[in-house]
Structure 1
Amino acid sequence: MAGKRSNGEGSIRKTKSGSWRGEIMDGYTPDGKKNMIRFTAKTRAEVLDKIRTY
């Protein structure tokens, strides 16, 4: 069973092509929609690093 992600870590999943994609919500846009920021990398660790750097 997978462990719980930390607050602010967002959602991380593996794509069909084998790369990893992560996304986080960074507030709301002026029209009220969620502002989703997406990151893609070859490894899960690289995606986590990009999210934490952002």
Structure 2
Amino acid sequence: MRNQEDIILSATLEQAQAEARCTEQREQWLAENSEAINAYNEHVENHGVFSDYVRSF
């Protein structure tokens, strides 16, 4: 039989593992897409974004 501390510990461990996996997936996605992200950022820097003409700020 588990006591309350075991349940809290296991839930905490599961949450930490899920967060670590999300961090890994984010870093992998950024690495795989860094070239496209950099190209887009450069394009925006040079040409602006399509909605620049409708913004009032």
Report the TM range for the smaller structure's normalisation: under 0.3
The structure richer in strand per residue is 1
Determine which structure has more spread, i.e. the larger CA radius of gyration: 2
- TM-score, normalised relative to structure 1: 0.19
- TM-score, normalised relative to structure 2: 0.18
The structure richer in helix per residue is 2
